[in-house]
């Protein structure tokens, strides 16, 4: 993904780095590290209290098939031969997969979802256009979920997939858009696709013209629900309708069969059309001040954004919704940064932005059913020094739906505070808390008028509560043990480091586990670290920057990476024992410049879907995947369909 290099959190809240450091020194990690380095990690691990505690805490349509080539001893459920470091760091123009597995390519960017629509297959000269792109698979494949037909099919269903982002050079072949048509093409390349896919003669394909096929993009009508739905903070002087979703990063899915798509770095798409956009960079954030006068700085809205220039460039105006110099659209940016619910079975239903879950840079939603049938969603706010959240529905999700109360509209939003003693507290983000209700800015002006304000400027409220600034929380997913597993991808802005604390700067990330009281619904939790990526760099497990996660029902933790891998590797998907970080095997390695993200599966888990995002960063001299290597064809984001050669469960 593209993310903000600059933190926006100036709350002064005690960062997780300090908590972790205190916890680790409590546990005498230094001594353990000495043992580990003297004897080798694997042999010493049996004596590693951290690990032992973790374990005990458990209480285009495919056309070609690619085969892994290349030996293994097994342990608990993960027996496949991994992609070796040597293999995984060879030719970066093509992916590498375990020799026990094979893969197909599905729905590359530009795949038509209706008949009569041309395919965009990576021609560097003749690009797609706004009309075609609205009926083609988008770019930036990210979070996704497979909804099997009848709830059970292993060969047919609806795949909902996020199209997080595509850079202008990748989509248009130029640095900046030069017309509204080009801006609209970019807008249509973003969003979500819902497509019926089916395994026919052993190969998965799109059922073109299935009535469920739909593209949702930046110009699709949407609705708002929940406490902030009627807020004046969501209304513009222009009176324009609610349209679109953008920067759809990770995802979630609900027990009632819907898809959740999460809006992450929405700020990067807003820009000041009066300003020259040719050098996007470190320009100051807009709108210092209270939420009611525009707390844009806390959300990172700047004059040049991430260089998309959708609002316009240097006085030429394109889409006014994204032009921060246009006062008629002053609140357009408040309409993004939400969790959006999509019903894959009803292509006519408008996507619904669920405001009770707060507005921030949503990574994804790890959803579970907790005590008394409550729906509980865990969420990361992915920016340096931002927070971990959870939402708990007011009651049993079934009875709420039966009473016409949507479980994601009524409930409590919490933000996490981590303590040094490996405990933590979930603090409710509510206007009824005087810390929030009575808060004023430097001019004595009230910050929040009601819960809608609190939800729209959730980060500001969470700052006041003293939430713990984290190292970029990415995916969070449930483990069968009842723990939640969090990827903290990295934070190179950490400044303190010493012999004990290897994590400042924390350039390579780590994985944490939490366990909540009261079957997910309580306000206290315990936490434990699972692994620091840095621990893996001297052995075959090597990975950095964990991002996408999934734990299967047997406790296999799938780890997907986004960032600078070591040892010559590209981004990758690994399979780990969620209770034993010594057991990590490399399943798949992507291509130059890409990110591996998104994970979905058939009910029998014999088909796994993952994505390669921004292969080659769009540069055909780096890779042409999924086309054969020709040095010319534009590489395209696509879904990778993974099966085991012996027909077994993927990851086994």
How far apart are CB 43 and ligand FEO at their closest, in Å? 36
d(CA 423, CA 413): 19
d(CA 490, CA 58): 26
1 or 159, CB closer to Ca ion? 1
Contact set for Ca ion, span 451-510 (CB under 5 A): 474, 489
Q: Which does 144 bind (CB under 5 to 8 A by kind): Ca ion, ligand FEO, none?
A: none
474 or 508, CB closer to Ca ion? 474
165 or 318, CB closer to Ca ion? 165
How far apart are CB 322 and Ca ion at their closest, in Å? 23
381 near ligand FEO, judged by CB under 6 A:
no
249 near ligand FEO, judged by CB under 6 A:
yes
379 or 456, CB closer to ligand FEO? 379
How far apart are CB 363 and ligand FEO at their closest, in Å? 5
Give DSSP secondary structure letters for 459-501.
HHHHHHHTPPP-B-EEEEEE-TTS-EEEEE--BTT-----SS-
185 or 261, CB closer to ligand FEO? 261
Q: What angle do CA 561, 566, 571 make, to 5 degrees?
A: 30
Q: Which does 332 bind (CB under 5 to 8 A by kind): ligand FEO, Ca ion, none?
A: none
Instruction: Tell me the C-alpha to C-alpha distance, in Å, between residue 583 and each of 51, 53, 530, 542, 555.
Output: 12, 16, 12, 12, 12
Residue indicated by tokens 């729906």? 375
Instruction: Tell me the C-alpha to C-alpha distance, in Å, between residue 612 and each of 157, 194, 559.
Output: 21, 18, 14
547 near Ca ion, judged by CB under 5 A:
yes
How far apart are CB 82 and ligand FEO at their closest, in Å? 25
521 or 639, CB closer to ligand FEO? 639
The one among 1, 78, 134, 479 contacting ligand FEO by CB under 6 A: 1
Residue indicated by tokens 């099997």? 148
Give DSSP secondary structure letters for 408-443.
TTSEEEEEEEE-TTSEEEEEE--TTSHHHHT-B-TT
How far apart are CB 264 and ligand FEO at their closest, in Å? 5
How far apart are CB 368 and Ca ion at their closest, in Å? 20
Closest to 516 in 3D by CA, of 532, 498, 528:
528
Q: What are phi and psi of 112, to 5 degrees?
A: -70, 145
The one among 187, 264, 319, 343 contacting ligand FEO by CB under 6 A: 264
Residue indicated by tokens 């729905």? 107
Q: Which does 264 bind (CB under 5 to 8 A by kind): Ca ion, ligand FEO, none?
A: ligand FEO
> Which pairing describes strands 352-354 and 223-225: parallel, antiparallel, or unpaired?
parallel
Number of residues that bind ligand FEO (CB under 6 A): 7
196 near ligand FEO, judged by CB under 6 A:
no
How far apart are CB 145 and ligand FEO at their closest, in Å? 16
How far apart are CB 1 and ligand FEO at their closest, in Å? 3
245 or 326, CB closer to ligand FEO? 245
Please enumerate, as own/partner, the contacts of 285-294 that have beta carbons within 8 Å and a separation of 24 or more: 285/8, 286/324, 289/441, 290/441, 290/445, 290/446, 290/447, 291/233, 291/447, 291/448, 291/453, 291/456, 291/457, 291/460, 292/233, 292/445, 292/446, 292/447, 292/448, 292/449, 292/453, 293/445, 294/330
Buried b (16+ CB within 10 A) or exposed e, 492-526: ebbeeeeeebbbbebbbbbbbbbbbeeebbebebb
1 or 36, CB closer to ligand FEO? 1
Contact set for Ca ion, span 615-644 (CB under 5 A): none
Closest to 590 in 3D by CA, of 212, 97, 71, 240:
97
Residues 6+ apart with CB under 8 A from 196: 156, 157, 158, 159, 206, 207, 210, 212, 213
146 or 360, CB closer to ligand FEO? 360
The one among 196, 381, 474, 483 contacting ligand FEO by CB under 6 A: 474
How far apart are CB 444 and ligand FEO at their closest, in Å? 36
Contact set for Ca ion, span 561-620 (CB under 5 A): 562
- The encoded tokens of residue 650 equal 């993927």
How far apart are CB 443 and ligand FEO at their closest, in Å? 34
266 or 329, CB closer to ligand FEO? 266
Q: Which does 182 bind (CB under 5 to 8 A by kind): ligand FEO, Ca ion, none?
A: none
Instruction: List 473's β-bridge partners, or say none.
Output: 488
The one among 363, 381, 545, 637 contacting ligand FEO by CB under 6 A: 363
> Which pairing describes strands 156-163 and 141-148: parallel, antiparallel, or unpaired?
antiparallel
Q: Which does 164 bind (CB under 5 to 8 A by kind): Ca ion, ligand FEO, none?
A: ligand FEO
104 or 594, CB closer to ligand FEO? 594
d(CA 413, CA 228): 13
Name the residue number minimizing CB distance to Ca ion.
562
Q: Which does 535 bind (CB under 5 to 8 A by kind): Ca ion, ligand FEO, none?
A: none
Q: Which does 471 bind (CB under 5 to 8 A by kind): Ca ion, ligand FEO, none?
A: none
Q: Which does 637 bind (CB under 5 to 8 A by kind): ligand FEO, Ca ion, none?
A: none
- The encoded tokens of residue 287 equal 């709108």
How far apart are CB 317 and ligand FEO at their closest, in Å? 29
100 near Ca ion, judged by CB under 5 A:
no
Give DSSP secondary structure letters for 248-296.
EEEEEE-TTS-EEEEE--GGGG-B-TTS--SS-SSPPBS--S-GGG--H
- The encoded tokens of residue 284 equal 């100051």
What is the chain's length? 652
1 near Ca ion, judged by CB under 5 A:
yes
104 or 382, CB closer to ligand FEO? 382
d(CA 440, CA 630): 60
CB 41 within 8 A of CB 539: yes
The one among 196, 323, 382, 463 contacting ligand FEO by CB under 6 A: 382
Binding map of ligand FEO across residues 148-167, x = CB under 6 A, - = no contact? ----------------x---
How far apart are CB 504 and Ca ion at their closest, in Å? 20
545 or 552, CB closer to ligand FEO? 545
100 near ligand FEO, judged by CB under 6 A:
no
329 or 475, CB closer to Ca ion? 475
Residue indicated by tokens 């993004």? 336
Which chain residues interact with Ca ion by CB under 5 A?
Answer: 1, 474, 489, 547, 562
Which chain residues interact with ligand FEO by CB under 6 A?
Answer: 1, 164, 249, 264, 363, 382, 474
């Amino acid at each position: 993904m593209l993310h903000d290099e600059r933190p926006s959190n100036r709350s002064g809240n005690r960062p997780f780095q300090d908590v972790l450091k205190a916890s680790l020194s409590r546990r005498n990690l230094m001594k353990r590290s000495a043992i580990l380095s003297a004897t080798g990690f694997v042999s010493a691990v049996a004596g590693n209290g951290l690990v032992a505690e973790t374990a005990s805490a458990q209480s285009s349509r495919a056309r070609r098939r690619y085969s892994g080539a290349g030996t293994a001893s097994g342990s608990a459920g993960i027996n496949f031969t991994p992609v070796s470091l040597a293999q995984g760091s060879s030719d970066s123009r093509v992916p590498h997969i375990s020799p026990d597995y094979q893969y197909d390519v599905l729905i590359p960017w530009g795949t038509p979802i209706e008949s009569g629509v041309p395919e965009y297959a990576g021609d560097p000269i003749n690009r797609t256009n706004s009309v075609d792109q609205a009926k083609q698979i988008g770019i930036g494949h990210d979070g996704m979920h497979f909804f099997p037909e009848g709830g059970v099919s292993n060969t047919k269903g609806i795949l909902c997939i996020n199209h997080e982002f595509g850079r202008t050079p990748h989509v248009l072949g130029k640095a900046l858009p030069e017309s509204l048509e080009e801006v609209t093409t970019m807008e249509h390349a973003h969003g979500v696709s819902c497509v019926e896919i089916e395994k026919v003669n052993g190969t998965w394909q799109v059922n073109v013209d299935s009535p469920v096929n739909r593209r949702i993009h930046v110009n699709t009508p949407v609705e708002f629900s929940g406490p902030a739905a009627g807020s004046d903070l969501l209304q513009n002087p222009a009176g324009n309708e609610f349209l679109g979703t953008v920067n759809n990063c990770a995802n979630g899915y609900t027990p009632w069969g819907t898809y959740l798509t999460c809006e992450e770095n929405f700020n990067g798409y807003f820009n000041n059309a009066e300003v020259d956009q040719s050098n996007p960079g470190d320009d100051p954030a807009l709108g210092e001040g209270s939420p009611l006068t525009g707390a844009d700085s806390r959300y990172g809205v700047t004059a040049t954004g991430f260089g998309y220039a959708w609002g316009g460039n240097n006085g030429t105006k394109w889409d006014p919704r994204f032009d921060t110099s246009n006062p008629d659209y002053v609140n357009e940016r408040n309409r993004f940064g939400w969790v959006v619910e999509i019903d894959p079975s009803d292509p006519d239903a408008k996507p619904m932005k669920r405001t009770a879950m707060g507005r921030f840079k949503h990574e994804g939603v790890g959803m579970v059913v907790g005590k008394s049938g409550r729906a509980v969603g865990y969420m990361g706010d992915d920016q340096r020094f931002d927070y971990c959240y959870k939402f708990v529905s007011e009651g049993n999700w079934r009875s709420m739906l039966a009473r016409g109360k949507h479980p994601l509209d009524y409930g409590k939003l919490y933000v996490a505070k981590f303590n040094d003693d490996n405990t933590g507290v979930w603090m409710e983000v509510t206007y009824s808390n005087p810390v929030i209700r009575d808060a004023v800015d430097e001019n004595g002006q009230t910050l929040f008028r009601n819960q809608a304000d609190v939800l729209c400027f959730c980060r500001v409220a969470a700052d006041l509560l003293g939430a713990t600034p984290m190292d970029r929380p990415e995916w969070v997913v449930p483990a069968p043990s009842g723990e939640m597993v969090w990827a903290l991808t990295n934070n190179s802005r950490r400044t303190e480091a010493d012999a004990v604390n290897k994590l400042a700067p924390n350039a390579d990330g780590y994985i944490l586990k939490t366990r909540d009281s009261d079957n997910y619904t309580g306000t206290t939790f315990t936490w434990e670290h699972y692994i620091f990526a840095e621990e893996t760099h001297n052995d075959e497990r090597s990975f950095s920057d964990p991002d996408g996660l999934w734990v299967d029902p047997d406790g296999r933790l799938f780890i997907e990476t986004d960032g600078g891998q070591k040892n010559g590797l590209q981004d990758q998907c690994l399979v780990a024992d969620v209770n034993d970080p010594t057991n990590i095997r490399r399943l798949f390695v992507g291509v130059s410049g890409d990110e591996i993200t998104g994970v979905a599966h058939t009910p029998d888990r014999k088909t796994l879907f993952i994505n390669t995002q921004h292969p080659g960063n769009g540069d055909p001299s780096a890779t042409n995947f999924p086309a054969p290597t020709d040095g010319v064809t534009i590489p395209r984001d696509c879904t990778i369909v993974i099966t085991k050669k012996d027909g077994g469960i993927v990851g086994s």
